[in-house]
Structure 1
Amino acid sequence: SSPDTNSMPVIKYPRARDPLFYEWDRKAQKCGLRHTIYAVNGDQYTGEWLDNLKHGKGTQIWKSTGAIYSGDWKFGKRDGYGSYSILDPVTKEYKRVYTGWWENDQRGGRGMFFYPNGELYEGEWSNGLRSGWGKMHYKDGSTYEGQWLTDQPNGQGLLRLPNGNRYEGGWKDGKKHGPGKYFYSDKGQLLEGIWVADIPKCGVLVDFGRDNAPDPTQFPLPEIELHDPAGVLAEARATFDDSHN
């Protein structure tokens, strides 16, 4: 009878081995958690690796500046969540500069940036610049909250001044631009109009909260005698839109 093919032994071929130097190279590759590694320039890194690249959680200290980054890495670059601090040359203490999200070795996503003069930005970043929605706390006590693009207020935003005055409206390259409203809370007045490069070009000034104003004007504003002030403003706004599109 013919042999039962199901019971025939399976031949195990020996697996072809890589040349020995490949194996040595693999063992030398940095993977997983390692102790502190020092670069030739004196920089040091403690953390996780993948295929010879910083990858995972790790802390880097730059010798030249004393700066330190602790957080996430991807393929050799800061990417994910992390904190960056610099060494104060006088006090020898670390001062936090940025805490938040990183993309491709730059600030990207949401984060907080601490400026040397005490100012603070909390909001969105792109390619290392303030871009998206964010709030800036200025040294003089004023705040800007709104849209940013390439590190400046661009789009819609609200500026509050220490004296209570505020501007709500359009911005372009850090300046009031487009339709907006300026509330003079100290005087009890409101200017609604069109701004171009920080200058109101056309507007209507009315009393607003005058009874509660700390320093109201001596006389209330007379009633506007234009037949259609809203129409005039709408026409100016349309002209602005046409000339800036």
Structure 2
Amino acid sequence: MPIVKYRGATEPLWHEWDRKAQKCGLRHTVYAVNGDQYTGEWLDNLKHGKGTQVWKCTGAIYSGDWKFGKRDGYGSYSIPDPVTKDYKKVYTGWWKNDQKCGYGVTFYAGRKRYEGEWSGGLRSGWGRMYYRDGSIYEGQWLENKPNGQGMLRLPNENRYEGGWKGGKKHGPGKFFYLDKGQLFEGIWAADIPKCGILIDFGRDEAPAPTQYPIPKVTAWKYGFC
């Protein structure tokens, strides 16, 4: 086998040919043994720069930034519709170390959608979630669940504003029953109101007010003459 001198050492010639053939900078299309396909930029035989990956098994496509073989930067991830076969976006936004990280938008089945911050592939930080029934949550998230301060607005415009923990109402909060013209303000624990006060609020504008208004609480002062 032919040999060459390389940095004072002797090595097979095919090592030299291999170094010259390494993908670096230019765009190349490479097919994996399992049928996956990548077209884009490379650095030291790693996906690096702009590129598009197609997974044969699922048909999913990622198009965007890469860094040393992993999705890193801005990019979009799409999957084919099982019926129409048309591609629909699942996520568009920022990535880090092959996971969603930073601001991004995710589209779920049933017209659900999340717009906001991510960390380690999970909804974490500030975000807004649109649910299938028309409800909207806007506020803080931690590991895919509402956590911190946030507001949940229901389809009938009633809303809760206050604390959340692990996806449930927790801590001081207010629930506006705008359909009845009432407001409950109190303390919540695991989605259950533990104590508080219920008062009339916007009763004159409410579409379905209660039959009688809530009596006002009057404080009496007692003393001796």
Q: What TM-score results when the alignment is normalised by the length of structure 1?
A: 0.83
Cα distance in 2 between the residues matched to 1:205 and 1:126: 38
Structure number with larger C-alpha Rg: 1
Aligned residues: percent identity? 77
Q: CA deviation at 1:23?
A: 3.2
Does residue 107 of structure 1 match 2:103? no
Residue 35 of structure 1, CA deviation:
2.9
Q: What SS class does the counterpart of residue 208 from structure 2 fall into?
A: coil
Query: Aligned letter for 1:163?
Result: N
**What secondary structure does 2:110 align onto?**
coil
Match of 2:42 among 41, 49, 52: 49
Partner Cα distance (1:31, 1:152) in 2: 42
Deviations 1:41-64 (A, max 9, x none): 100000000011000000000000
User: What is the aligned counterpart of 1:141 among 112, 125, 134?
Assistant: 134
* 1:76 is aligned to 2:59: no
- Report the equivalent of 1:169: 162
1:221 aligns with 2:217: no
Q: C-alpha separation between the residues in 1 aligned to 2:126 and 2:132?
A: 20
Structure 2 unaligned spans of 5+: 1-5, 221-225
Give distance in 2, aligned partners of 1:16 and 1:148: 55
Secondary structure of the corresponding residue to residue 117 of structure 1: helix
How far apart in 2 are the matches of 1:226 and 1:121? 47
Query: 1:59 — aligned with what?
Result: 52
Q: How does 1:29-44 map to 2 (within 5 A)?
A: 29-44=22-37
Q: Which has the higher helix share?
A: 1
Aligned with 1:32: secondary structure?
A: coil
Amino acid at match of 2:133: D
The one-letter code sitting in structure 2 at the alignment partner of 1:216 is P
Task: Give, in angstroms, the shift of residue 90 of structure 1.
Answer: 1.6
* TM-score after normalising by structure 2: 0.91
RMSD of aligned alpha carbons = 1.6
Q: Which has the higher strand share?
A: 2
Per-residue displacement from partner, 1:179-226 (whole Å, max 9, x unpaired)?
000000001110000000101000011111111111111111111246
1:127–1:58 CA distance, 2 compared to 1 (3 A): same
Distance in 2, matches of 1:156 and 1:221, equals: 29
CA deviations on 1:64-123 (whole Å, 9 max, x unpaired) are: 000000000000000000000001122111011000000100111000000012100000
Partner amino acid, structure 1, of 2:191 = D
Alignment partner, residue 159 of structure 1: 152
For 1:223, the aligned partner's letter is K
Give, in whole Å, the separation in 1 of the partners of 2:212 and 2:96.
Answer: 56
Structure 2: distance between partners of 1:192 and 1:89: 47
